[in-house]
């Protein structure tokens, strides 16, 4: 079954570093296989600033652990091999996103002076303490498998902490004034009598007959009549064997409802019930519970502000990225993979991160133990600048 990669990334992508820092703070114990790699080798260069292989690998491994913890049981051992588009596996897509996130961290950090942002002494001390504790609590093989040493961890934590602070400063410049007209929300209860077809034993859709559709409309009309007679919409719905749902809407926010439903809601006064509303999916009956829902209005106001902040940050970063010179050493970047399963298990005192045995130990070992000499022989085809292939090999 194809994996919904984009949905999964929305759910945990932005929380990755917070989760990783939490794992670090818990004095994580990890075990892994041995290997040899130059952690300081540049996997990419952003405006003449190098992204070390160790930072990239550690960031990738922490994201791998997060995904496998949340979704491993659901999708099984072949999670990373699942196709999310033609010729693109979930591993391919995730690693591509990780690389873009790394570029973003390093680009944004380069604008710290412009926003007068720096780490506090307390933040620096916390980073030093966390990195030191992580190294002390893990063996050398495990650290190498994760791409970690004390300096790499310090850079990782420093870079992300700084990036978060700059992002907050950028977002602070967004307009937070939201008019009542833009935020105002109405709330209504509704019930849908569906006219969708049924499914037979073979899995085929069987469309309703005209008589069955007419019966569905009569069912909706009965709810309208009962509600108008009793003045109790919820009871009318319940007596019909249905369950009422709730939706809130306002300007530029239709709550995902059919346009005919919103039009009908706009015509109601608070406490009124609509007539039957015909849509492609069936027959709706709605009851306007609040012509001005204060709680939902405030929620929408906060949502609008958040959207403005996100847009301002996104637009600002896009300008910075477009103006940046970025070179990726693909040969080194491809040394990072998810062949080794990583699981996170909790006990009373700590979180244990285990790097499981790979079914392709030889291949992983070859990737991990690439010598400096092999890396120095990187060809032009293995190095890209943005979307274009660079004509010269990277400096070593």
Residue 299 belongs to some domain of the structure: no
Q: d(Cα 114, Cα 116) in Å, to the nearest integer?
A: 6
Per-residue pLDDT at 203: 80
Residue 297 belongs to some domain of the structure: no
Indicate if 171 and 190 belong to the same structural domain. Answer: no
Indicate if 33 and 168 belong to the same structural domain. Answer: yes
Indicate if 96 and 207 belong to the same structural domain. Answer: no
Indicate if 165 and 191 belong to the same structural domain. Answer: no
- 31 vs 100, 123, 247, 295, CA distance in Å? 28, 28, 49, 49
Mean pLDDT of 5-25: 39
Residue 301 belongs to some domain of the structure: no
pTM for the full predicted model: 0.76
Least confident of 32-36, 74-78, 226-230, 276-280: 32-36
Which residues are within 8 A (CB) of 369 and not within 5 positions of it... i.e. 6 or more apart?
Answer: 35, 36, 37
Least confident of 111-125, 185-199, 270-284, 360-374: 360-374
**Residue range 160-169, pLDDT digits in tens:** 999 999 999 9
CATH of the domain at 232: 3.10.50.40
Indicate if 336 and 364 belong to the same structural domain. Answer: yes
Indicate if 252 and 230 belong to the same structural domain. Answer: yes
> Taking a C-beta distance cutoff of 8 angstroms, is the pair 156, 210 a contact?
no
> Taking a C-beta distance cutoff of 8 angstroms, is the pair 197, 207 a contact?
yes
Q: Of 291, 319, 336, at which residue does a domain stop?
A: 291
Please count the structural domains in the chain. 2
Mean pLDDT of 193-207: 87
C-alpha radius of gyration, the chain, whole number: 28
Indicate if 26 and 164 belong to the same structural domain. Answer: yes
Q: d(Cα 335, Cα 145) in Å, to the nearest integer?
A: 12
Which residues are within 8 A (CB) of 223 and not within 5 positions of it... i.e. 6 or more apart?
Answer: 191, 193, 236, 237, 240, 242, 285
Q: d(Cα 224, Cα 242) in Å, to the nearest integer?
A: 13
Q: Which residue has the higher pLDDT, 359 or 152?
A: 152
Residue 298 belongs to some domain of the structure: no
Which of 62, 36, 40 has the alpha carbon at shortest distance from 51? 40
Residue 355 predicted with pLDDT over 70: no
Indicate if 169 and 193 belong to the same structural domain. Answer: no
Mean pLDDT of 358-370: 34
Residue 355 sits at φ, ψ, to 5 deg, of -90, 110
Q: Which residue has the higher pLDDT, 367 or 154?
A: 154
Indicate if 108 and 219 belong to the same structural domain. Answer: no
Per-residue pLDDT at 236: 97
Residue 395 belongs to some domain of the structure: no
Residue 190 belongs to some domain of the structure: yes
Indicate if 55 and 159 belong to the same structural domain. Answer: yes
> Taking a C-beta distance cutoff of 8 angstroms, is the pair 374, 36 a contact?
no
Per-residue pLDDT at 391: 33
Indicate if 133 and 190 belong to the same structural domain. Answer: no
Range of 361's domain? Answer: 5-175+308-389
Indicate if 83 and 161 belong to the same structural domain. Answer: yes
Mean pLDDT of 110-120: 97
Which of 285, 386, 393 has the alpha carbon at shortest distance from 332? 393
Q: Of 258, 291, 324, at which residue does a domain stop?
A: 291
Residue 330 belongs to some domain of the structure: yes
Q: Which residue has the higher pLDDT, 6 or 360?
A: 6
Residue 222 belongs to some domain of the structure: yes
Q: Of 225, 256, 291, at which residue does a domain stop?
A: 291
Backbone CA torsion sign across 23, 25, 30, 36:
positive
Angle at 158 between CA 152 and CA 162, to 5 degrees: 150
Mean pLDDT of 353-382: 40
């Amino acid at each position: 079954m194809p994996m919904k990669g984009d949905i999964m990334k929305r759910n945990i992508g932005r929380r990755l570093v917070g989760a990783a820092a939490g794992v670090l703070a818990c004095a994580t114990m990890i075990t892994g296989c041995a290997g040899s790699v130059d952690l300081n080798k540049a996997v990419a260069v952003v405006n003449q600033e190098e992204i070390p292989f160790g930072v990239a690998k550690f960031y990738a491994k922490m994201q791998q652990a997060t995904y496998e913890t949340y979704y491993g049981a659901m999708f099984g051992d072949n999670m990373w091999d699942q196709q999310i588009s033609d010729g693109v596996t979930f591993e391919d897509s995730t690693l591509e996103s990780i690389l873009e996130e790394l570029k973003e961290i390093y680009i944004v950090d380069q604008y710290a002076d412009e926003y007068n942002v720096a780490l506090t002494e307390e933040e620096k001390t916390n980073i030093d303490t966390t990195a030191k504790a992580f190294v002390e609590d893990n063996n050398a093989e495990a650290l190498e498998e994760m791409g970690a040493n004390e300096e790499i961890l310090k850079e990782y934590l420093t870079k992300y902490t700084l990036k978060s602070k700059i992002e907050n400063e950028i977002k602070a410049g967004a307009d937070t004034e939201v008019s009542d007209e833009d935020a105002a929300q109405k709330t209504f209860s509704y019930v849908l009598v569906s006219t969708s077809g049924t499914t037979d034993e073979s899995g085929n859709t069987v469309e309703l007959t005209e008589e069955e559709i007419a019966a569905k409309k009569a069912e909706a009309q009965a709810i309208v009549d009962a509600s108008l007679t009793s003045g109790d919409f919820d009871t009318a719905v319940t007596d019909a064997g249905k369950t009422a749902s709730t939706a809130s809407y306002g300007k530029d926010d239709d709550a995902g409802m059919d346009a005919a439903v919103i039009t009908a809601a706009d015509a109601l006064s608070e406490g009124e019930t609509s007539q039957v509303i015909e849509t492609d999916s069936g027959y709706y009956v709605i009851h306007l519970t609040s012509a001005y829902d204060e709680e939902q209005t405030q929620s929408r106001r906060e949502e609008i502000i958040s959207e403005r902040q996100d847009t301002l940050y996104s637009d600002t970063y896009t300008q910075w990225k477009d103006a940046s010179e970025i070179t990726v050493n693909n040969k080194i970047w491809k040394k990072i993979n998810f062949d080794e399963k990583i699981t996170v298990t909790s006990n009373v005192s700590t979180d244990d991160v285990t790097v499981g045995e790979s079914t392709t130990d030889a291949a992983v070992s070859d990737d991990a133990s690439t010598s400096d000499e092999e890396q120095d022989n990187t060809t032009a085809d293995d190095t890209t600048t943005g979307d274009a292939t660079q004509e010269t090999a990277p400096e070593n």
